Chains A and B, each alone.
Chain A
Amino acid sequence: MGLVVATKMIEIRNLKKYFPLKGGFFNSKQADVKAVEKVNFDIPEGEILGLVGESGSGKTTLGRSIIRLIEPSEGEILYNNENILNFKEKDMRSLRKDFQIIFQDPYASLDPRKKIFDIIAQGLKIHTGLNKQEISNKVKSIIKEVGLQEEHLNRYPHEFSGGQRQRIGIARALVLEPKFIIADEPVSALDVTIQAQILKLILDLKEKYSLTILFISHDLSVINQIADRVMVMYLGHIVEVASTKQLFSNPKHPYTKSLIATAPQIFRKNENKIVLKGDIPSPINPPSGCVFRTRCPHASPDGKEAKIEMGLIEVEPGHWVDRCGANCS
């Protein structure tokens, strides 16, 4: 067998998102919320790429920027070798069919006034030229795919449990036969037993429909179950990227190490783990140099990390770590 080079679904180049903070006398710009700092990565076709990090690290902003639900400040998003940030609204609209999103909160993400049928059918009406009958057939078939029944289509969101609503959210995304899905904490609001059901559903559907998925979660155990590769994010920066196996067996960055060491586990009682101190700093005023230095257990006492320039380097094939994380500790 020769070398197989996986086709890339999407390529992210120097993608940055700052939210301007306005206020004061002239409602002028006061500062920026530096949510995502020039990140670079690719997602090969058919991959589930996990994105993990604490709340506020920029996961949602990054995910939404990729499909332009949030307009990035800088950078390129290459899809079929074209930078979609140059697309006009009309071209974007056809793209929206290929790119779908599943949200964290199954309560807030479904319009309470609409019947399930209309919620799922809406995208088909906007994006396809299908007639009524064809739309109806598609909706009826997808609702079964996600483990619900045709009779559910006539009901309203409030009649469903959290897990069922998440299934509806998945049906709404999948009915358009997308190529790429952003799943933003799709199981975080669910009970463990329902969480397992939804994860299994996502995996099964991924195989069946050859999907590519960016799977966002703050829960490393979930990421370990579902992702092929993992990116670890901290304060707008990607500090480590590796295959799931590499990341969990051989974490390099002090932040990754501490996340893995502190995740509560059934069959591991480690009394003397290193618990990170303090909170994640504000992205309005992030630490200079290594952004992790204010919480890093290995930060040097002379504070030299304040002057380090961040950036990923490859430490073993396919395993990238922030430059500072690779040299230190």
Chain B
Amino acid sequence: MKNDTLLSVKNLKTHFSVGNSVVKAVDGISFDLEPGKTFAIVGESGSGKSITALSIMGLLPNNLESVDRGKILFNNQDLLTLDEKEMRKIRGNSVSMIFQEPMTSLNPVYDLSFQISEAIMLHQNKNKQEARKIAIDMLDLVGIPEPQKRIDAFPHELSGGMRQRAMIAMALSCNPKILIADEPTTALDVTIQAQIIELMRDLQKKLGMAIIFITHDLGVVAEISDTVMVMYLGNTMEIANTNKIFSNPKHPYTKSLIEIAPQISEHKREIKVLKGEIPSPMNPPSGCVFRTRCPHASPDGKEAKIEMGLIEVEPGHWVDRCGVGCGN
């Protein structure tokens, strides 16, 4: 852990028990978050991105399997050791989250004033009037026109983009050091997506918070992040500076993702594909989890016995051990 690390995730495991089986949603990931920077997490559906976020927030369902879960270090404390009351304090003051589908996290029966003020009153010791004023300022900050009027709107009265702005306002109202954004633009149109990305960049410049930005879109990663982590089936495959990962990807999975991403710069190249689908986390492949789809897997199946784990190939560029020795 470097001196300027804000949050350090070390060998995090989040396993769920389902019937007689274990779902290894997150299976030993590690990364560091620097203050004021944007850290992207990218990967296919089911790779464990959201569960990573919810693990940091301490908002997991209760079918947790007891394993050594690793550590999540923040402010010299391990968040995994805190109780619910202490975690609530962290969530109100230091770390907040916005979700992919704003309708699920904004309560449809309350207006914005109530929802945003409530959070402010709870965590900042303000009275109702002060809280409402801060809430209006927040709506203004996130670019909602006529905030004095919109503050009394209900979620369904807003467009998708406006709802996402309101979510951001709510998340930022506690002045967090870390903002976790789980696919905040996936459900939006390109133009609205561009507005939200621009907004988040501006807000980061103004307020200086670090952002963990979850997405499955490498184009968005390129636009917004400083560093990126590629996840697959609960594991980290690669972590690098964003420019690095595109100019010099090391892991076969990262390479495939970049190769197949549709681009508008080059017309009608042939469509490249990565075969197969992500396996079930109830029954992940032994050894290298990517081996069932990897174009470079060896025919003798030796990857079934490899032990996974990150190694640093150059400063700040981490690759899963198997990804380095193999597949050129």
Which A residues form the contact surface with B (CB < 8 A)? 54-55, 161, 163-164, 191-197, 199-200, 203, 218-222, 224-226, 244-245, 248-249, 258-260, 262-269, 273, 275-277, 279-280
Contact = CB atoms under 8 A, between A and B. Distances in A.
Contacts of B264: 220-221, 224, 248, 260, 263, 265
A220 B161 CA distance: 20
Given A203-B271, A266-B219, A275-B198, 4 more contacts: A220-B190, A221-B263, A249-B267, A263-B264
Contact of B274 (A54, A193, A226): A193
Contacts of A225: 262, 268-269, 271
Interface string B184-195: 000001111111
B306 interface: no
A226 B195 CA distance: 27
Nearest to A258: B191
Nearest to B269: A225
Nearest to B145: A278
A245 B272 CA distance: 20
20 contacts: A161-B277, A193-B260, A193-B273, A193-B278, A196-B272, A196-B273, A196-B274, A197-B273, A197-B274, A199-B262, A199-B271, A219-B190, A225-B271, A248-B264, A264-B194, A269-B223, A273-B194, A275-B195, A279-B159, A280-B189
Bin chain B's interface residue count.
Answer: 35 or more
A219 B264 CA distance: 10
Contacts of A262: 190-191, 193-194
Contact of B273 (A191, A200, A264): A200
Nearest to A56: B189
A218 B194 CA distance: 14
B191 A264 contact: no
Contacts of A259: 190-191
Given A264-B219, A264-B222, A265-B222, A218 B263 contact: no
A115 B246 CA distance: 44
Contacts of A54: 189-191
Which 9 A-B residue pairs are closest in the complex by CB-CB distance?
A264-B219, A221-B262, A262-B194, A196-B260, A200-B271, A54-B189, A276-B191, A275-B194, A193-B274
Nearest to B257: A192
